[in-house]
Amino acid sequence: MAEWPRPVPLIGDPTSASQRAADPTGWAMGEQVREALHRVVGARRDVRRFRPDPVPAEVLERVLGAGHAAPSVGHSQPWRFLVVQDPATRDRAAVLTDRERLRQAAQLEPDAARRLLDLQLEGVREAPLGVVVCCDRRTPAAGVLGRATFPDADLWSCAAAIQNLWLAARAEGLGLGWVTLFRPEDLAGLLGLPDGVVTLGWLCLGWPDERPPAPGLERAGWSRRLPLSDVVLHDRWPVEDGGAPAAPPSHLRAPDREAVVAARDQADRLLTPPGSLGVLDRAVDGVVAVGGAAASGGTLLLAAADHPVASRGVSAYSPHVTRDVVRASVAGTSLGATAARTAGLGVWVVDAGVRGGPVPGATVLRATDPRGDLVDRPAMTSDDAQRLLDAGRALGRGAAAAGLVALGEVGVGNTTVAAALACALLDADPADAVGLGSGADAEVLARKRQVVVEAVRRARRADPGLARHPVVALAELGGPELAVLAGVVLGAAAAGSAVVLDGYATSVAALVAVRLEPGAQPALVAGQRSRERGHGLVLQDLGREPLLDLRMRAGEGVGAALASGLLLAGLALRRDTARVDH
């Protein structure tokens, strides 16, 4: 029988079955390509430190193009690459990661928690680009070939796109870090994702400021890569008593990126191993990044007020103690003023509502309308809350000229106020937010909890969305000194100063500030963790690890002053320690 030439299609696969049978390996790209691919795969790293230099548009397009070339179930291409360059969005994302880092550490046993906190787990602030890979799941699974049986195959497709991105970035010399320190609903809310579109985390993309020879967690002693033989099974899963593989181990930081990286560069030139001062090194990095490298002093800004809620028996002390401490602070002899002087700080006392008339020598900033006891009436009007916030901003800008701004407060009953405001902003259970305060007993604690429950219930009736409206929450449940201090945080941060927090009340004031302007969060330094039950929750939400944990109940800015002294010492070490060559 005559043979005819095989019709060769002008599109598609031009090879024939006989050709493929004669050379089964004919589709290989050759040894050079194979070695290059395996080199890229073997050199892929989860990068956490980045240079601030921009990524050229054509390079970004090549990398995203590689992601878009990934395989997808039913050729559905469910990925969407959301490229984030907006500094405000990055600032908000960084606050979320700081918060989750502390939440995850809180779930670990102490040694593992310390090791986790030693690690830099993300580069959201430093990387010039954020790429959030979103999966559009709005098409019903049954309508996509391959998803009817495996509904999550669309997520796997997006993960494959991330791996393509990662390898392409590595081939370009870019670093990529996959950050999952987000609650998915928080990240989705930040980006305005519609229902049915989910994220697979945040990819930090930029030129790396590290060139790790091995995976970071492996170098940090967190874990080691298992041998291939331990993860390859044959035919079926082994019976449990026949050597089944072990379950995977579970191991449960808004300056611009140039400033963040420059602070770290400065530290890396010191004649000491990077990170040798632990938590203090990170805090000093933060102070330097916001512009405080030259600080050699600062100001303890002490805001004071009495609270009508004290009449409900929520404190072990009489309200007159507030005035006594404020007068001693003006005289420079209170514990807080003495601690400030010892740390090299000046003292600025603000009378935000002390009973008995204005305190001589103090700056007077008071609510103008009658104030309530939280349970029956709001703490103050929204107008007063906003006015005191604005006045606090001006104070913060003025205090920043002297260096660090440390926060302190005085006010009998203000841990009850702080707990109520924390419950409103965090949607926290009063049982987790209310503590003893200074000198209280079980009966006082029970009264405090009941007061907070009733106050938050009343405030939520007035505004069911209280957690989303920080000024309203401040007016309903806060105190005038907290409004002033929240403003101080915003003013000082805007002026380029670090703000050192003291205990529960000052941290709740900072929480209000960050809810108003997340870009203020990088300026915060948690001076200490107090004994107040809810303080840890607030610090966790702020994403700030405390410098000191001395179980203090002093108030008055004592912890902030002591931590400021430590920070100033750290800054002096950073300035005066010998340098190494570049």
Catalytic residues: 556
Residues 430, 452 contacting (CB under 8 angstroms): yes
Q: Rounded to an integer, what distance in angstroms lies between the CA atom of residue 192 and that of residue 186?
A: 10
Rounded to whole angstroms, the Cα distance separating 361 from 350 reads 9
Residue 358 CB contacts under 8 Å (≥ 6 apart), including other chains:
351, 364, 366
3-state secondary structure of 579: strand
CA-CA-CA-CA torsion sign (316, 480, 553, 539): positive
Cα–Cα distance, 347 to 340 (Å, whole number): 7
Residue among 249, 176, 248, 259 at smallest CA distance from 216: 176
In angstroms, the CA 364 to CA 352 distance is 6
Torsions phi, psi for 579 (to 5 deg): -105, 160
Please count the other Cβ atoms lying within 10 Å of the Cβ belonging to residue 349. 27
Structure tokens at 18: 């006989």
**Residue 19 CB-density burial (10 A; 0-12 exposed, 13-18 middle, 19+ buried):** exposed
Residue type, 66: A
Distances (CA, A) of 560 to 157, 291, 336, 507, 530: 49, 19, 9, 11, 11
* Identity of residue 328: A
Beta bridge partners of 343: none
**Buried residues in 286-315 as b, exposed as e (16+ CB within 10 A):** bbbbbbbbebeebbbbbbbbbbbbbebebb
Question: Minimal CA–CA distance to 279: which of 291, 287, 269?
Answer: 287
> What is the spatial distance between Cα 547 and Cα 179, in angstroms, rounded to a whole number?
25
Kindly calculate the radius of gyration of the chain based on its CA atoms and give it in whole angstroms.
Answer: 29
**Beta strands 197-206 and 363-364: pairing type?**
unpaired
- The dihedral formed by the CA atoms of 340, 346, 352 and 354, expressed in degrees to the nearest 10: 60
Determine whether 256 is exposed, middle or buried from the number of CB atoms within 10 Å of its CB (0-12, 13-18, 19+).
middle
**409-to-74, 300, 301, 551, 568 alpha-carbon distances in Å:** 61, 10, 8, 17, 21
Task: Collect all residues with Cβ–Cβ distance below 8 Å to 30 and sequence separation of at least 6.
Answer: none
Please spell the DSSP secondary structure of 345-386, one letter per residue. EEEEEEESS-TTSPPTTSEE---SS----SSSS-SS-HHHHH
Contact predicate 164/66, CB 8 Å? yes
Q: What are the φ and ψ backbone dihedral angles of 320, each rounded to 5 degrees?
A: -65, -20
